[in-house]
Structures are given as structure tokens and as C-alpha cells.
């Protein structure tokens, strides 16, 4: 009965070689195992129980794709043919999906052949399998014997179902593959039809033909080479299990146990077969590990001569981490620091002995803990957070601007057991960016210059132009002065009206008419607003029915100033890098405007919040204290 292995997503098909003693079952199985591709078969196992022997191996003959998510694997068995091993034969036949009957062509063995076919009938019946229904193939072996009976006589005596039959000289490999291929073809087709698996296959006959062709082609090359090298001397085959004995186990039964012989025998066989399969799984795991080590040897040439030396590999990796240019810190799910490299010592000033087993929040200021919690929540879900920019504290409690990449560390069960933080010092970069910020305001001024020119040519809005230009004057830009946001918004709208119309942008002003004036540094505020406005214009460039909404509100002693666009929006994964410099050039320009605006507003105790999602636009809210 076919088995469905849900653990490995496999359909297990069992085929048993049956026949009288010394008819050639073992030779067939050995030749078949020899001819198959090593990458698609397990070792040939021998299970010895009470002095008899059962051979078997697993075979994945060809990739047939997935049938309801399962691949097909063949399990091939042979049983002892001697009469007194009937219990073993009956147990091995349990769950068989197909049978290959190996008959001895010798005239002297005809009676044994008939006895064995009758024995097959009774043992199948004991396993509730109908011999008239199970896929069955005949092989008439030892056709090279001088007293070999004619095939017609053998068919008349043995082939009661008129099933396919093959002539064979198994010691030479003749007829071995053809017999097996026919049995597989019949068995797989019967299983597909019986369990209605053919519904997931467009052309069942084509799939079965592909299976049959694969088996024959893979054996043809080896058979051809063997024929060229074979001498005329007939060699009696010896039992070889892939060049080595893989499994050997003997179970004896005392006289007092004879009443439970079948139960003990079944347990012994089942236990040995399971052990053999576990051995195969272990071997596959070892092969996968070897392959992985080979891949690592390419990346770490220093370990080429010690690829299997785990201690050397561990020391190399520890050295790689310890002497990395960036600080690397790992901590467990309780936030306890477990690894601290040399770059971390230099950056934060804590020696390794001081900081290990301390909480990671030692490095974070109190106001940064909420953000750390948010990031750890994301990483706990198995995601990597790159380019998270924040401020950490060194051992003197001094601020250090950094960019952090957080990633989870998983065990073999894919369970997160710890976290790694790769920390890059941004102090030098921030100094360069501060210089950029000092000249970046001229971008927003350049953005307005064409509109100034048009307004002056039209002799309109000279006072508004002079007011805005004066805000960029270094000597006056940092002075606190009364400022009407509503009037400023109307001035910008009037100034940029022609371009808004040319770009077909819908400008919506939702201004609170009772909005009070605020005392603010006018220059930095205007520069920050223009940076956000430039980003809004760029976001709606390729948007159908583009719109920009400017809104003002007064709530709980704060002025709320909102800039809303219906542009492309910002993906969630990019929101964590919205102030980062580790991005492409186009995104870097936008990020620089955002970062400049945030820095300018923060100096005025103004909070800036960005809400965005793809295809739904972006909303920026400024929360400005009234006094």
C-alpha cells in the first residue's frame, strides 16, 4: 500500500523482488543498484535476522515534479527465497505496491518456481493483497543455462495472468533494467489511477513514459561500459553494499519465544529498516554539510586546508568580527550583550570585560528607548533593519551619531535566539552633512528664483519677495519674530501660481482663519518648509490628477502645519531610511531635504512627523509651540 510521507513530502512506492532460492533476486538488485545514478539512490542495505537476509534500497529515479506537493520515491526490496524463511517473506510483502517474480529457467528448478508462485499467492493474501490485481512482472532468469526451459513452457506453468515477462541473464545485467522499468511503469500508473493522483497531471501516459525512459537511459551507459570490459569468464557475484557493509544486525529467538516468532521478526525487520533509513538521512546531512563547507572554503580561502576543523573556523570568524571596521554587538532576547568587538571598544570606550552581560539599553539615551523597542519588534519578526540612524551614548555619556543595521540570529530550527547590531560611526559624515546643510538652503532659494523673476517682471508681490529673500540673510534669519503662517502660505501660492497651473497641480488651502501668529526664527522655518514643498512637487510629478494640500490648525496650545500630497508615497521598508545617506542618489537628495528640514525645525522645538504609504501619498505634520 502506497505511503504518503508528509514530513518529507514524498509518495513512497514499494516494489518487492520475489522468487525461489538462488533464482537471481539478489543479483538483480545488485545490478540494478550498480546501474543507478549515485545521486539518486541510497546505499544497498542488508538486514540479517535469524540467519536470513533481506536487501533493500531507496531510489529517486527521475524528477517528475510534484504531485499535490509530493515527489515520488521508489523503495526496492528482495526477500530470502528458501522455504523456511516464509515469515520474513510475508512481512516484507506487507504494503507492497508491485512485485517482480524472478523464476529460475533451469528445468530442475521448475517445481520450486511453481511452489514459489503459490507461496506468493498465500503471502499476498495474508497481507490482504489480491495477486490478480497487484502490478506483477515476470523475469525468466539464467537463460544461458544448458537445461533452460523454453519461455513458452515457463509462461504456461507460471504466467497465469498473462502479464509482461522478460528473459534475463542477471549476472551479465541482461534484462535486469527492462524488467524493473516495466514493473515501475505498471506500479506508478496503478497508484495514480487508484488514488486519483492523475487529476493533477496533464498527461499521465507522458509522465509514465518519462519515468520509464529515465530508468533505461541512466542504466544504458553503464551497461555498455560493462560489456566492453567483461571477460568471457562467468563470475559468481558476491554481495557488495556500495563497496561496504552498511548495516548488519542479527536477532536470535530462544525456543521459549517461538510462539511470538512472527511478532519478534516483524519488530526486528522494522527496527533494522528504520535504522537504515536513519543512516541514509544522516549520510545526506553529512553530504549537505560537506557541500556547505566547500562553499565556505571559496569565501574563506584562509581555511582551505582546514575546512573540516570547526575550531579553526570559529577562531577565524571571531577574528573577522573582532577586527571589523564597524562596531559589532550581539545581544540575546533579554537584551543582554553577549559579544563586543574591538571597534565597539574604540567607539564607545567600554572594555569588553566591562560591557558583557550588561543591558543593551546602556548605550541608548532615555528618549531613544521607544524607537529601540519599535526596531526590535520588527527584527523579532525575522526582518533586517538597515541604516537606522540614531544617537547612542559612550562611556562618558556623550552623544555619538550612528547608523545601525539590526539583524536576527536564528538556530537550526529557524528560531530567533539573539540579535546583531552593526554600528557605524557617523560623526565624520555628519560634519560633512552639516556643511551641506549650511549651503543646502540655496537649493530652496534657487527653487524660488524663477518665480521671483516672473513676479518682479509683472510688478507684483515685491514686498512678499523682499520678505522671503530677507529670511535667508544670515544676520536676520535666526532672530525671533512674529510670523503668520497663513499669510506665508498665501504668498507662496501667489508666487508659484503660474507653475502650479502649468503642472496641472490642484492646490488646496485649508487654513484656520483664527490661527494666531507664532514667534519663530523665520529664516530656518521658511527654508525647512520649502524643502518639504520641493519634495511634495517631485512626488506628484508623474501622478494622475496631482494635488497638494496645505492645512493649518490650532490644538492644545500648538499650531499644526500640514503638507499633504497624493504622490507615489514611501514604501514601509524605506521609511526606516528616510533620513539615511546609505541610499541611491535620487533618494539621497530627497532624504537630505527631509533631514535638513528636521534639523532646522528641531532647533525651534518643532516636531516633524511623516506619514506615508505607497500610492496613497505623504502627509507631513509640523507641531509648533505657540509661545
CATH of the domain at 102: 3.40.50.300
Tell me if 267 is assigned to some domain: no
Mark whether 182 and 331 lie in a shared domain.
no
Please report, in angstroms and rounded to a whole number, the separation of the first and last CA atoms in the chain. Answer: 84
Is 135 inside a domain boundary?
yes
The reply to whether 200 and 327 lie within a common domain is: no
Say how far apart CA 151 and CA 157 lie, in whole Å.
10
Shared-domain flag, residues 386 and 469: no
Say what the pLDDT of residue 195 is: 78
Mean pLDDT per segment of 10 residues, for the chain of length 627 residues? Answer: 72 89 87 80 66 55 53 81 73 90 94 93 92 94 94 94 94 90 88 74 67 69 61 42 42 46 64 66 74 69 56 61 78 88 89 90 86 87 87 90 89 88 82 60 58 52 52 56 87 81 90 90 83 87 91 92 91 80 73 82 88 89 87
168 and 119 assigned to the same domain: yes
Q: Note whether 418 and 441 are same-domain residues.
A: no
Which of 250, 281, 314 is a domain's end point? 250
Looking at 194, 222, 250, which one is the last position of a domain? 250
How far apart, in whole angstroms, are the C-alpha atoms of residue 323 and residue 388?
22
Same structural domain, 414 and 460: no
* 284 lies in some domain: no
Is residue 66 located within the same domain as residue 129?
A: yes
pLDDT for res 229: 59
Phi-psi region of 243 (alpha: psi -120 to 50; beta: other; left: phi over 0): left
Q: What is the CA radius of gyration of the chain?
A: 40
Q: Is residue 309 part of a domain?
A: no
Per the structure, the count of domains in the chain is: 3
Give domain status of residue 472, yes or no: yes
Tell me the pairing of strands 10-18 and 3-5. antiparallel
363 close to 336: Cβ distance less than 8 angstroms: no
CATH of the domain at 446: 3.30.565.10
- Residue at which a domain ends, from 425, 452, 477: 425
Tell me, yes or no, whether 463 and 390 share the same domain: no
45-72 b/e with 16+ CB inside 10 Å = b?
A: bbbbbbebbbbbbbbbbbebeebeebeb
Q: Which domain holds residue 57?
A: 3-250
Q: Phi/psi zone of residue 359: left (φ > 0), alpha (ψ -120 to 50 degrees), beta?
A: beta
Domain of residue 369, CATH code: 3.30.450.20
DSSP SS3 for 364:
coil
Cα separation of 240 and 237, whole Å?
9
Q: Is residue 260 part of a domain?
A: no
Q: What pTM was estimated for this model as a whole?
A: 0.44
Q: Are residues 415 and 476 in the same domain?
A: no
Question: Is the domain of 393 the same as that of 486?
Answer: no
| One domain for residues 344 and 227 | no
**Residue 300 counted as domain residue:** no
146 plus 100 within the same structural domain: yes
> Would 312 be classed as within a structural domain?
no
In angstroms, rounded to a whole number, what is the distance separating the alpha carbons of residues 128 and 139? 24
Residues 301-327 as b/e (b if ≥16 CB within 10 A, e otherwise) read eebeeebeeeeebeeeeeeebbeeebb
Amino acid at each position: 500500500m502506497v505511503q504518503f510521507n508528509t514530513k518529507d513530502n514524498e509518495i513512497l512506492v514499494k516494489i518487492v523482488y520475489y522468487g525461489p532460492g538462488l533464482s537471481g533476486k539478489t543479483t538483480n538488485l545488485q545490478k540494478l543498484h550498480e546501474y543507478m545514478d549515485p545521486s539518486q539512490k541510497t546505499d544497498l542495505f542488508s538486514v540479517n535476522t535469524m540467519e536470513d537476509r533481506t536487501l533493500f534500497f531507496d531510489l529517486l529515479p527521475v524528477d517528475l515534479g510534484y504531485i499535490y506537493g509530493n515527489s515520488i520515491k521508489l523503495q526496492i526490496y528482495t526477500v530470502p527465497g528458501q522455504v523456511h524463511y516464509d515469515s520474513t517473506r510475508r512481512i516484507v510483502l506487507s504494503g507492497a505496491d508491485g512485485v517482480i517474480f524472478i523464476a529460475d529457467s533451469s528445468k530442475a528448478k521448475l517445481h520450486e518456481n511453481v511452489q514459489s508462485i503459490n507461496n506468493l499467492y498465500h503471502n499476498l493474501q495474508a497481507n490482504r493483497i489480491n495477486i490478480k490485481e497487484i502490478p506483477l512482472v515476470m523475469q525468466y532468469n539464467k537463460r544461458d543455462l544448458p537445461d533452460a526451459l523454453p519461455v513458452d513452457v515457463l509462461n504456461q506453468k507460471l504466467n497465469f495472468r498473462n502479464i509482461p515477462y522478460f528473459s534475463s541473464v542477471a549476472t551479465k545485467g541482461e534484462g535486469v533494467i527492462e524488467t524493473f522499468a516495466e514493473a515501475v511503469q505498471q506500479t506508478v500508473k496503478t497508484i495514480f489511477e487508484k488514488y486519483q493522483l492523475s487529476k493533477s497531471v496533464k498527461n499521465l501516459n507522458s509522465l509514465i513514459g518519462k519515468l520509464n525512459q529515465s530508468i533505461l537511459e541512466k542504466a544504458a551507459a553503464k551497461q555498455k561500459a560493462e560489456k566492453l570490459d567483461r571477460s568471457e569468464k562467468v563470475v559468481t557475484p558476491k554481495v557488495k553494499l556500495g563497496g561496504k557493509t552498511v548495516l548488519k544486525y542479527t536477532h536470535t529467538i530462544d525456543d521459549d519465544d517461538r510462539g511470538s516468532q512472527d511478532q519478534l521478526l516483524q519488530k526486528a525487520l522494522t527496527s533494522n529498516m528504520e535504522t537504515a533509513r536513519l543512516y541514509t538521512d544522516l549520510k545526506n546531512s553529512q553530504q549537505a554539510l560537506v557541500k556547505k563547507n566547500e562553499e565556505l572554503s571559496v569565501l574563506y580561502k584562509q581555511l582551505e586546508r582546514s575546512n573540516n576543523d570547526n575550531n579553526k573556523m570559529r577562531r577565524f570568524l571571531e577574528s573577522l568580527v573582532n577586527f571589523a571596521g564597524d562596531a559589532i554587538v550581539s545581544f540575546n532576547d533579554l537584551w543582554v550583550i553577549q559579544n563586543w568587538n574591538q571597534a565597539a571598544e574604540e567607539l564607545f570606550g567600554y572594555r569588553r570585560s566591562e560591557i558583557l552581560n550588561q543591558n543593551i539599553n546602556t548605550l541608548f539615551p532615555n528618549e531613544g528607548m521607544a524607537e529601540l523597542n519599535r526596531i526590535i519588534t520588527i527584527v523579532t519578526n525575522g526582518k533586517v533593519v538597515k541604516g537606522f540612524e540614531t544617537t547612542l551614548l559612550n562611556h562618558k555619556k556623550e552623544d555619538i551619531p550612528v547608523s545601525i543595521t539590526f539583524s536576527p540570529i536564528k538556530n537550526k530550527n529557524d528560531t530567533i535566539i539573539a540579535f546583531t547590531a552593526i554600528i557605524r560611526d557617523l560623526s565624520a559624515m555628519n560634519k560633512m552633512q552639516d556643511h551641506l546643510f549650511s549651503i543646502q538652503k540655496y537649493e530652496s532659494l534657487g527653487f524660488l528664483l524663477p518665480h521671483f523673476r516672473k513676479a518682479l517682471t509683472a510688478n507684483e508681490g515685491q514686498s512678499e519677495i523682499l520678505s522671503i529673500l530677507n529670511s535667508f540673510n544670515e544676520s536676520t534669519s535666526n532672530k525671533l519674530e512674529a510670523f503668520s503662517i497663513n499669510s506665508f502660505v498665501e504668498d507662496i501660492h501667489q508666487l508659484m501660481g503660474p507653475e502650479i497651473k502649468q503642472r496641472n497641480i490642484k492646490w488646496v488651502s485649508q487654513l484656520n482663519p483664527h490661527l494666531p501668529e507664532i514667534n519663530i526664527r523665520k529664516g530656518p522655518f521658511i527654508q525647512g518648509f520649502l524643502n518639504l514643498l520641493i519634495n511634495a512637487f517631485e512626488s506628484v510629478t508623474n501622478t494622475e490628477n496631482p494635488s497638494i494640500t496645505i492645512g493649518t490648525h490650532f490644538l492644545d496650545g500648538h499650531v499644526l502645519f500640514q503638507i499633504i500630497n497624493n504622490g507615489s508615497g514611501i514604501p514601509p521598508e524605506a521609511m526606516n531610511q528616510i533620513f539615511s545617506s546609505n541610499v541611491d542618489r535620487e533618494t539621497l537628495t530627497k532624504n537630505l531635504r527631509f533631514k535638513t528640514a528636521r534639523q532646522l525645525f528641531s532647533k525651534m522645538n518643532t516636531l516633524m512627523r511623516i506619514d506615508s504609504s505607497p500610492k496613497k501619498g505623504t502627509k507631513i505634520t509640523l507641531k509648533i509651540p505657540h509661545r
